[in-house]
Structure 1
Amino acid sequence: MRLSLVTLTVGAFGIGMTEFVMMGILPDLSEAFSVSIPVAGYLIAAYAVGVVVGAPLLVGMLGSQPPKRLLIFFMIMFTLGNGISALSPNYITLLLMRFISGLPHGAFFGVGAVVATRLAEPGREARSISVMFAGLTIANIIGVPLGTYLGHTFGWRFTFLAVAIVGVLAIVSIRQWMPKLEPTPGASLRRDLKVFTRVEPWLIIGITMIGTGGLFAWFSYIAPLMTEVAGFSSEALTYILMIAGVGMAIGNFIGGRLADRSPLKAAQILLLNMAVVLIVLVVAVHYKPTALLVTFITGASAFALGAPLQMLMIRAAKGAEMLASSVTQGAFNVGNALGAYLGGVPIALGYGYTSPEWVGAGLALVGLAIALFAARYQRNDVAPAYAVVEAEG
């Protein structure tokens, strides 16, 4: 594996850790700031909003710069945001810092995905992207359980401090091993925005921000689901998150392989599978062995979507790949915010901690409906950029 791709993996590890560790320390933050679990969940939404705002804004403003310089700048922002989060004196301050920490998230992945395709061998672009996304899955195997352990044992501030340390490692590795790549010729915000005058990028955005909401409706509330419904102790959350993380890691590479064949078909299959698995989880979670098994399967099903959706957008946005790719990351985090918010609504109404799974299944099915429409749009030959590229491949 190329060290240049490993640098993207390290950055993705830090980003994945700070994004997903919130689910593990949500009860700790709820207790520390004397707020309810749904209100603590807004810290997840604030980060996601930061991603949505920062992804197109930062890439649009800085997209003409060399990719290596951009990646280093984004990781510096990320590291400072998480370091300052560790010092937050109250809930409102942490809410603001979560927003700021989220600003470089989508921009990093947007630029990183394009860099990964440039470094890949022909026909293996999606698998190269999946190497970057592997950082997210490794974060869920190692980083999130570690961050959860630190939060439970020493306090939530140590969790954010650990994330900041990973950010420093990412900066050093990018400076050392990432090759110098030329910026996109003639890149400008005005030119890049023209890609969004076409239909297919908007369909991909819809699939991403609604369909992936199913993942976040489940994962945002996995801690109370496993402790209050399945009956696990809070100490067992570390191992439960590791099981989910292993599932995500396996699903990520499966998604990369499927996407190199047909990213749109892969997205359809995976969205349907995610909806079914979330419904099964409602029953399975009442028994510890099946709760763990389906947690693994849910992680694999949901996280396999990353590479297919990213490849769809890159293929649909020739000439404006970095901006469009970063917008896809923004859409992922609209799904994060949407899933966290909508998943919390039935909990607040008293329907229990299994109710977010029904919300998640519904979101996945809506995403599937959009993906099926996109396939019909492709068959009708209404100028789908990614269909042309797939036909040539």
Structure 2
Amino acid sequence: MTSAPTRPRRALLALAVGSFGIGMTEFVVMGLLPEIARELLPAAWASSQEDAIAQAGWLITLYALGVVIGAPTIAASVAKYPRHRVMILLAAALTLFNALTLVLPTFELVAASRLLAGLPHGAYFGIGALVAADVMGPGNRAKGVAFVLTGLTVANVVGVPLGTFLGQNLGWRWAFVLVVAIFAAATAAIAVTVPRRAGEPSRTLRAELGVFRIGQVWFALGIGAIGFGGFFAVYTYVSPLVTEAAGSPAWVVPITLVILGIGMTVGNLVGGHLADVDLIRAMFGLLGLLALSLLLLALTSGWIVTVVIFVFAVAFAASAVSPTIQTRLMDVAGDNQSIAAALNHSALNTGNAMGAALGGAVIAAGFGFAAPVWVGFLLALAGLGIAALSVTLERRHARTPALV
């Protein structure tokens, strides 16, 4: 893995390019829901813009469902194969399925393509995280994970706002022209830079699925799925939150997305550092900060200045939580590392689907475009409660090595 001093860094950079593409494809839809609804759901748009936007939100839910399905099944199935080959195939699949989103003509077909595009997502990040952890070595695993995730967070600073701008001015499909180009570049870069490593024939599908017999794995997944759902309840509907709840023009949306992306990027790096220093305290502190930020955003959603400030805070806290959950899963999963690393993204995208669906439901029910923020606050509190229960039971029964 370290045959040349610069090769590990190049490999991590190649993986980060792919995660940049994933960040774009996952999140750019959130800023373009009105444009997508207007083109693909014209009848619903003419009848009720709120209903059309809520219906378009299912594209986000279906992508997240693809991640939930694909993360454990793909990661467990390919655990025995050489990781560099698996990463090339996953990046190529992401290129193909996003190309389908670009060209398919109807809402139903685009929705199917979003489900397909989500399938390789979790396995890409999970196996990529293992490559990064190997490169970084003991004591720096969370930093390695955070480096791979940096591409995703930087996408929210540069890629998502740029894609949103292109989509608002040239048509939403132009955002996916950029997405497909990025994935194609990532596929080539991974093929050249990711070090070759022999597979592990003993890691069969059946062996990997043994991870689901570990109780603490379920707690960690619950923290990610429910607690992180609070972030997605906000992110999914950030465009109408800015334009409708805060009464700002559409051009403010890309600016808000840039600020949100900066919060995610900084939070990811800080979270990786804190997780390596004290994992449990970092997890509790950051989940608490997420809940507080969501509460303050909900209380001040009528003013664009406070919306921007607390959107940054929400993004910072949520992104910082991610490497703590990833590392927690790797700690409690024993030998089942491939599937555990991927399951983090299955959990986070369960939160994505939950946040998008519940946020859309409260909007469609007539509670207003700030209502998803309150949903997010309740989900973050629930995630904090699950974390408290997990650590309490772990300490009581001493089932795993000390983590504090």
Q: Does 1:20 find its partner at 2:20?
A: no
| Contact persistence 2:241–2:369 (CA under 8 A) | yes
Opposite residue 231 of structure 1, the aligned amino acid is G
The runs of 4+ residues in structure 1 deviating greater than 6 Å are: none
**Correspondence for 2:296:** 280
Q: Distance in 1 between matches of 2:299 and 2:387?
A: 28
CA drift of 1:265 comes to 2.4
CA drift of 1:121 comes to 3.2
**Correspondence for 1:230:** 246
Of residues 186-195 and 106-115 in structure 1, the stretch that sits farther from structure 2 once superposed is 186-195
Instruction: Select the residue among 23, 39, 50 that pairs with 2:66.
Output: 50
Superposed counterparts of 1:1-393, under 5 Å: 2-33=9-40, 34=42, 35=44, 36-184=52-200, 186-384=202-400, 387-388=401-402, 390=403
Note the alpha carbon deviations across 1:162-203, whole angstroms, 9 max, x for none.
101000111111111111123346211111122221211111
Note the alpha carbon deviations across 1:105-132, whole angstroms, 9 max, x for none.
0010110111111111321110111011
Q: How many residues align?
A: 388
Q: Distance in 1 between matches of 2:245 and 2:348?
A: 28
Q: For 1:52, what is the secondary structure of its paired residue?
A: helix
Note the alpha carbon deviations across 1:225-263, whole angstroms, 9 max, x for none.
001111221122111100100011011111101110232
Q: For 1:89, what is the secondary structure of its paired residue?
A: coil
Opposite residue 290 of structure 2, the aligned amino acid is M
| Contact persistence 1:184–1:319 (CA under 8 A) | no
Of residues 30-39 and 281-290 in structure 1, the stretch that sits farther from structure 2 once superposed is 281-290
Note the alpha carbon deviations across 1:2-26, whole angstroms, 9 max, x for none.
1111111111000010001011111
CA drift of 1:57 comes to 1.4
| Contact persistence 1:209–1:335 (CA under 8 A) | yes
| Contact persistence 1:138–1:245 (CA under 8 A) | yes
| Contact persistence 2:229–2:380 (CA under 8 A) | yes
Q: Distance in 1 between matches of 2:381 and 2:348?
A: 16
Opposite residue 93 of structure 2, the aligned amino acid is M
State the percentage of identical aligned residues.
38
Q: Distance in 2 between matches of 1:181 and 1:267?
A: 32
Q: Distance in 2 between matches of 1:125 and 1:198?
A: 22
Query: Structure 2: which 5+ runs fail to align?
Result: 1-5, 45-51
Query: Structure 1: which 5+ runs fail to align?
Result: none
Opposite residue 25 of structure 2, the aligned amino acid is T
RMSD of aligned residue pairs (Cα, Å): 1.3
